[in-house]
Structure 1
Amino acid sequence: MTPDDFITPDPAQAKLGQLLFYDRILSGNRNIACSTCHHPDLGTADGLSLGIGEGGEGIGPERTAGTGDDRIRKRIPRNAPGLWNLGAKDLHVMFHDGRLSVADTYENGFNSPAEEWLPEGLENLLAAQAIFPLVAQFEMAGNPKENEVAGAVHNRMDYAWPILTDRVRHIPEYADAFAAAYDHIDGPSDITIADIANALSAFMIFEWTSIDSPFDAHLRGEKDALTPVQKAGMDLFYGDAGCVACHSGPLMSDQGFHAIGLPPFGPGRTRRFDPMVRDVGRMGESDALEDAYAFRTPMLRNVELTGPYGHNGAYPTLEGIVRHHLSPQEALDAWEPRLAALPDVPWLESIDFMVWQDSREMARQRATVTLAPQALSDAEVDAIVAFLGALTGASARTGLFGIPETVPSGLPVDHAMDP
């Protein structure tokens, strides 16, 4: 990949987006920012299998579930993905179930949960994605009756975005920054949620476009960019191991959906009429039976930084998720709950592994697995893992803007984690 494969962000807009990304002003209760679950010290993820969203305290594996009336009511149903290379021009679908995609379904350029109520003026797919965590109850919005944002979402999600926009408009530093960064903005009243989303996307593209890994150097023809073990792993990845069947193309993803039988746990992203705790994956968006328990193929650059792995973070190591691909049914039998990185939440423990008690549901999930078993030696698995490590960019651990010391709202910032 080259810079031409990505949207080119404006630096001033990206700088503005940096402040918004780390500012808790965009959450209903002003207690969580985008950075809380997508922190650069954790590979732009959170280091947890299932995150602790609105109501939690701290960041990363040390994040707790809160106390008293403010404690969380539900774990985030799916793993927080890394934010690498989301400005790729060829990227056309987002979220683990693909519920956001480039399409003209609603004559606004996107098929999204907001349907025809999606705001106008969103510049790209990543900008469209950025506004949905803001109005997700357990991610950033909060619970009904706690704040005006959550209350508005309870009626219709697009009612909440103007409330968040109004908060930003009334902070002079933001108003001035928007006017300086966007030609169509002359004053606070001109700022829209689309402008906020566009700034957020500009920052994420500017900060986390990553094409300087040893693998990228190898593709550019640089001699000895890969070690012999990494080269052997690459040959397996694109050869006998068959990884390229799904992790294909420059993005290392077919952007398709596949059922690979990952061990289920957590609340699941259930549909309203589901009578049980489960996650049906892509079928929840498409309502097509052939999509049952299928999840989007993730892109792989910087993958060694973004564990745990899988749509629900079922495996803490790359070796674990690689071995699952080799024999999904056996891996499912051997998986143990201790492998899940789940912060202690006593009042939700009864839900965490409830799905395993439903033999019919587990049988349904097993029946949809599309990966055929294959045998690789321990040395070959090690080589594939080494190759995946060669996908880490040289600048991936540093970023360009980094973490701001303060944000215009004056609210606390998720600073660097202790070593």
Structure 2
Amino acid sequence: MPRFSINVIAAAVSLGISAPNAVAQSLESGFSALERGDFATAYRAMREAAAQGDARAASMMGEIFGVGPYARPSEAPSASQTATPAAPQLRPEAAVPAGRLLAPVVIRRPPPRPFAVPTRPEGLIDDMFAPVDLALAEIGRDLFFDPVLSGNKDVSCATCHHPTLASGDGVSLGLGTGAVGLGDDRSPTGPYAAAERIPRNAPALWNLGARDIRVLFHDGRVERDPSNPAAVLTPQGPLEYMALDSILATQALFPVLSHAEMAGRAGENEIATAVAQERIHGDTGAWGLLAARVDALDGYRTGFAAWRGQDAAVGIDEIANAIAAFISHEFRANDTAFDRYMREEAALSPEAGEGMRLFFGKARCAECHSGPLLSDQRFHAMGEPPIGPGKERDSHGYTRDIGRAAFTLDRSDAYAFRTPMLRNVVHSGPWGHAGAFSDLRDFLIHHMDPVKGLERYSPQAVLPQLASAVQDYGALSNRMQLGAVKKAAASTMRRYAMPALSDAEIGMILAFLDALSDPASLDGRLGAPDTLPSGLQPDR
């Protein structure tokens, strides 16, 4: 039986006795359903009684399910925790040269919103997703699996975001170009063998076709302009000359420019050389050279011609739109037990139901993992262990990853990373922006007190063998860097302190996270193609 407080159960009994007959029947049905762990039936029954005007039933809705005007979380934040933080001091806006690679974009934003305990969970429904052109998605599937988009023609989007690996690569920090194999079996090989790890964990691709997506990448360097939602901010400045269908299509343009992921090192191929020379745009830029490669293949040219209804050279924007269409279709996950529960189609298990109450109540997870996507799409410094090569180097030479601050140039964003969405989360480990945790329970415990979590962290990353890599855990012994990560995490915790949770409560939250799994999406829809227009072999 769900662990409701004695006063809640007593209230349910008294409601059933004293209410008018029709209302009493609804309440009796609801209470019986609670005893069976049938949350969906209980929710419907009590909602029906509340709709008939019974204030006590409405109160039960707030007490048990945390919804409606009577919702009252028991662990409300203190006044000091909910006070609006002082507005950060932002630097003046800086223009980004159109041809400069990964130049930081500084934008003005309103001050962060105060943390507030939400009162109502929200599920995903079909209308929250943009429609997908399946003919374009089928072209995108070939492009997603085709190594032709990498400089050395040896790695594809699917290498790091494979359908059989929950849209990731199953490792903490992967190997891009210059390696073979999938997941932790991947290894360097060939004349251009990989010499470094990709500095961040490959993020899951679930539900990136949702209309409400505003930021992409761990640091949000591709983002809808807060002052003009129709525009997208990118490391390459405005891309209005392209006909990009979505922010997801815009994001698809950037992995091909990364030397560690897909482009390769200068001198290895014309794409890598163009990137190193900061030639990105135009026919002789990296994007134009890749588009010409695709256009030269009959299978792609005829496929795009049939789709658009006329023959023309294939553009890099069409390539990006096709890949985005495939991702939107293949990695849509909105038929989870939680979403079915929110649609009143099925019940959650008793343990998952208790975990949901904790998630949206006492544990305060939903202060960041909010809304239908279970992400506020904002950035928080949660003190994740700094492992791997890092994405930046400072004047002292050691590697680090300062997260959002590298994009905004705002110190208050140091070591902050985007709140991940949570559908299929139990399948998409390792977890964290660098994949430092291979145990999800350990990751949750770390979130309860990230400063102490950093002190007790035990290396558990999943890393493919790479003899020439820098020391993977070297930053953990660098007092200056670790201190900076702790300081940023402590600042976050002053605004948002998680309560202590028992092992049983953590187990319930894990059960709820498992209820965010969508079996159909994990099984795949289009899947990997058997052959590719380039004649290269897809990762399978």
Which of 489, 508, 520 is matched with 1:383 structurally? 508
Aligned counterpart in structure 2 of residue 180 of structure 1, from 295, 306, 331: 306
> Structure 2 counterpart of 1:259, which letter?
A
- Distance between the aligned counterparts of 1:272 and 1:328, measured in 2? 24
How many angstroms does 1:104 deviate by?
7.9
CA contact (8 A) 1:230 1:384 kept: yes
Alignment of 1:91-106 (within 5 A): 91-103=213-225
In the alignment, what sits opposite 1:346?
467
**2:97 corresponding residue in structure 1:** none
Q: Does 1:132 align with 2:258?
A: no
| Helix, strand or coil at the partner of 2:223 | strand
Task: Give the stretch that moved more between structures: 135-144 or 107-116.
Answer: 107-116
Aligned to 1:248: 370
Per the alignment, residue 367 of structure 1 pairs with: 487
Residue identity in the other structure for 2:375? S
Q: 1:105 to 1:187 in 2, by over 3 A?
A: farther
Residues 71-150 of structure 1 correspond to what in structure 2 (within 5 A)? Answer: 71-103=193-225, 109-116=231-238, 120-150=242-272
Cα shift readout 1:109-162 (whole Å, capped 9, x = no counterpart): 211011146751111000000010011111000110000111111122331011
User: Alpha-carbon deviation of 1:333?
Assistant: 1.6
Of 47-56 and 352-361, the range deviating more from structure 2? 352-361
**Could you say which structure has the greater relative contact order, defined with CA pairs below 8 angstroms and 6 or more residues apart?**
1
Question: For residues 13-24 of structure 1, what are the structure 2 equivalents within 5 Å?
Answer: 13-24=136-147
Equivalent residue runs for 1:36-47 within 5 Å: 36-47=159-170
**Structure 2: distance between partners of 1:23 and 1:378:** 45
Q: In terms of mean alpha carbon deviation, does 100-109 or 291-300 score higher?
A: 100-109
CA distance in 1, matches of 2:129, 2:396: 39
Question: Structure 2 CA distance, aligned partners of 1:223 and 1:144?
Answer: 55
Looking at structure 1, the residues matched to 227 and 362 of structure 2 have their Cα atoms a distance apart, in angstroms, of 39
Structure 1 stretch displaced more, 370-379 or 99-108: 99-108
Higher mean C-alpha deviation, range 384-393 or range 101-110: 101-110
Answer whether contact 1:282 1:294 (CA < 8 A) is retained: yes
Corresponding position of 2:292: 166
TM-score, normalising length from structure 1? 0.94
Who is 2:345 aligned against? 222
How many residues are treated as equivalent by the alignment? 408
Distance 1:22 1:151 in 2: 23
Q: State how far apart, in whole Å, the 1-side matches of 2:499 and 2:513 are.
A: 19
- Look up the equivalent residue of 1:324 and give its one-letter code: H
- Distance in 2 between residues matched to 1:81 and 1:127, nearest whole Å: 16
SS at match of 1:395: helix
Instruction: State the distance in 2 between where 1:118 and 1:164 align.
Output: 19
Contact 1:104–1:111 (Cα < 8 Å) also in 2: no
Which of 211-220 and 99-108 deviates more? 99-108
Equivalent position SS for 2:189: coil
Quickly say closer, same or farther: Cα 1:247–1:148, change in 2 above 3 A.
Answer: same
The separation in 2 between residues aligned to 1:108 and 1:161, in whole angstroms, is 23
User: Aligned equivalents of 2:226 and 2:274: distance in 1?
Assistant: 26
Query: Partner of 1:396: helix, strand, or coil?
Result: helix
More off after superposition, 339-348 vs 8-17: 339-348
The secondary structure found in structure 2 opposite 1:348 is coil
1:357 alignment counterpart? 477
CA-to-aligned-CA distance 1:358-403 (integer Å, 9 cap, x gap): 2122111101111335311111000000100000013022221111
After TM superposition, the score normalised by the length of structure 2 is 0.73
Q: Which has the larger radius of gyration?
A: 2
Give the C-alpha shift of residue 274 in structure 1: 7.3
Which of residues 324, 333, 336 is equivalent to 1:213? 336
Unaligned runs of 5+ in 1: none
Letter in 2 for 1:139: E
Contact 1:106–1:116 (CA under 8 A) maintained in structure 2: no
User: Which of 156, 181, 185 is the equivalent residue of 1:33?
Assistant: 156
2:410 counterpart residue number: 288
Q: Which amino acid aligns with 1:342?
A: L
Q: Which amino acid aligns with 2:311?
A: G
The DSSP-based 3-state class of the residue aligned with 1:346 is: coil
CA distance in 1, matches of 2:339, 2:229: 37
- Give, as a single letter, the amino acid of the residue that structure 1 aligns with 2:531: T
- Cα deviation for residue 26 of structure 1 reads 0.5
Measured at CA, do residues 381 and 133 of structure 1 come closer, stay the same or move farther in structure 2, by a change above 3 Å?
Answer: same
Contact 1:207 1:399 in 2 (8 A): yes
Q: Unpaired segments of 5 or more residues in structure 2?
A: 1-123
Alignment of 1:177-326 (within 5 A): 177-183=303-309, 186-189=310-313, 191-224=314-347, 226-270=348-392, 275-326=397-448
Q: Which moved more, 1:313-322 or 1:379-388?
A: 313-322
2:89 alignment partner in structure 1: none
Structure 1 residue runs of 4 or more that deviate by more than 4 Å after TM superposition: 104-108, 271-274
One-letter amino acid matched to 1:412? Q
How has the CA–CA distance of structure 1 residues 4 and 300 changed in structure 2, closer, same or farther, with 3 Å as cutoff? same
- Deviation of 1:227 after TM superposition, in Å, equals 0.4
Match of 1:178, SS state, is: helix
Residue 100 (structure 1) shift: 0.6
Q: Distance in 1 between matches of 2:178 and 2:319?
A: 23
C-alpha deviation, 1:108, in angstroms: 8.4
Question: Which moved further from structure 2: 230-239 or 313-322?
Answer: 313-322
C-alpha displacement at 1:306, in angstroms? 0.6
Matched to 2:259, the amino acid is Q
Q: Distance in 2 between matches of 1:286 and 1:398?
A: 38
The 8 Å contact of residues 363 and 498 in structure 2, kept in 1 or not, is answered as: no
497, 515, 520: which one pairs with 1:395? 520
Once the two structures are aligned, what percentage of the paired residues are identical?
A: 43
Distance 1:240 1:104, change over 3 A: closer
